[in-house]
Structure formats: C-alpha cells, structure tokens
Amino acid sequence: MNNFDLKNKTAIITGGAQGFGLDIAKTFLTSGAKVFIWDIDDAELSKAVKEIDNKNLDSNVVDVSKFEQVKDAVNKISSNNKIDILVNSAGITGPTAELWNYDNKAWSDIVNINLHGTFYCCKSVVPIMIKNNYGRIVNIASVSGKDGNANASAYSSAKAGVIGLTKSLGKELATYNIAVNAVTPAGAKTRILDQMTKEHVQRMLSKVPRGRFLEVSELTSMVCWLSSEENSFSTAAVFDISGGRSTY
C-alpha cells in the first residue's frame, strides 16, 4: 500500500472498532494521524485499543443515531484538537426480507444508523472544518445504494441516501478546502456479512465480475487517498470499488 502523509491531522472514524473502520484507523495511525474511533460496542472498542496500542489512538462510545451523543463527542474532541478528517463507516445491514414483509423497527434502525448517523456526524463536524478552511469527509456507502439489493430495501435505501447526501454536501462546501466523497464497496469479508443469510451473501457475490469479495485493505487504500491533501480537487463524487459490478 502507498503511504499517505497524514501527519498533524486528526481523524474521527465511526464504526472504528471493527471491519472497514478498524483497518482504516490502523492505516491512518501508521500515516501519522491522531485517530478517534467511535463505536456503540464498548467491548469491541476496548479490544481494538488494546490490539493497536498506539498513543495517538483514542476511543469514544458513541451511538451515531443519537444526535446529542454525536454533538457532545465532537465538542469534547474539538476543545483540544482540530478535526481534519471524518470517515463515516458505522453501519448495519439488518435482516433480509421482502419490502412488504420488512419489520418496521428494523427499517427505522437501519436508516437511523446508516443515513441519519452520517447526517448527524457531518452536521456536527462541518462547522469546525469551515472555521479551519480544511477538511476531508469520506462516507462509506455501498454498491447496493446504486443498484439496490433484493430483500435489502432498507439498507439499499439508506445507502442511496448517503450517496445523495455526499453529492449535496460536497457542492455546499466546494468553495472551501473541504472535500466530501463517498465510496461504494461491494461485499467484503467483515462481520457485517454475519447479519445476512448465506443465500443473500452468495447472490451478492455472484454479481461481482471479479468473482471474489473485496479485500478490506483495498477499500482502505482508496479511503486514505480521499482523506489526504493529495485529494485536492475531487469532491461530491462517488468512487466505485465493486469489482466491476457497477460501472458508474
């Protein structure tokens, strides 16, 4: 993996205790950043902090679907740090079912975490970035937000919303040195697959021309570039990493 210069940068990574978020956090740290990982799971956070064992890593238990928790955590961090980078990686897939059989609470939970959580984090962090005239925001969407996955209407809808949010916010911040972009990964071997049936996972994999799952490190490479100063022009964009499943 190429090295990116993130020295003197402070990053917040939601869903940072596992999966994509944890791998991104590790690479950010080796690139010189100070990193705050957020997660709703205190045990997983403690495990991640112990595993990484880096003085530039801190953690916060934050439920991103609760605006006041997000705002309080941002205020505490910004009282002693700049906030240069925000990676919105927290997300759940929820159950697989036809839309007409979809549980109402499950639908709300999925939208609240994936879409509202991204909104709350951006809403809280952007004013700080505007004040500093610098920022990089990367929203982890999904190929399902482009194509739609059968029996995953809530997740597909929420991730489509993340894509729309990214395009709008990127345009709103285009006159500042703030880039807002989304990535749309295909399925990867993370714990999020455990929330899906084996049949649903196999159906997802069958749509990928490369014929394999995404490696977590491959997504991390893309996110690192989007989070760096080298990304000085691209904003309000969607970067596909679906192994050829989507070509737009």
Q: What is the mean pLDDT of residues 176-192?
A: 86
What is the biggest distance separating any 2 CA atoms in the chain, rounded to whole angstroms?
Answer: 50
Instruction: Match domain 10-241 to its CATH number in 2.40.100.20, 3.40.50.720, 2.170.120.12, 1.20.58.220.
Output: 3.40.50.720
Q: Which of 120, 134, 155, 248 is catalytic?
A: 155
pLDDT at residue 3, rounded to an integer: 78
Which residue intervals of the chain are DSSP H helices?
19-30, 42-52, 67-78, 104-111, 117-132, 144-147, 153-172, 198-206, 216-227
Task: Give the residue extent of every domain in the chain.
Answer: 10-241
pLDDT at residue 248, rounded to an integer: 78
Q: Is residue 88 predicted with pLDDT exceeding 80?
A: yes
Q: Is 155 a catalytic residue?
A: yes
pLDDT at residue 239, rounded to an integer: 97
pLDDT at residue 191, rounded to an integer: 62
pLDDT at residue 187, rounded to an integer: 76
Q: What is the pLDDT of residues 185-243, one digit of tens each?
A: 987 776 666 656 677 667 777 777 887 788 899 999 999 999 999 999 999 999 999 88
pLDDT at residue 210, rounded to an integer: 84
Of 7-11, 44-48, 143-147, 194-198, where does mean pLDDT reach its minimum?
A: 194-198
Looking at the DSSP bridge assignments, the partners of residue 13 are 37, 87
Q: What is the mean pLDDT of residues 58-83?
A: 98
Q: Return the sign of the alpha-carbon dihedral for residues 40, 197, 182, 57.
A: positive
Q: What is the mean pLDDT of residues 7-17?
A: 98
Q: What is the pLDDT of residues 110-165, one digit of tens each?
A: 999 999 999 999 999 999 999 999 999 999 999 999 999 999 999 999 999 999 99
pLDDT at residue 12, rounded to an integer: 98
pLDDT at residue 194, rounded to an integer: 63
pLDDT at residue 196, rounded to an integer: 62
Q: Is residue 81 predicted with pLDDT exceeding 70?
A: yes
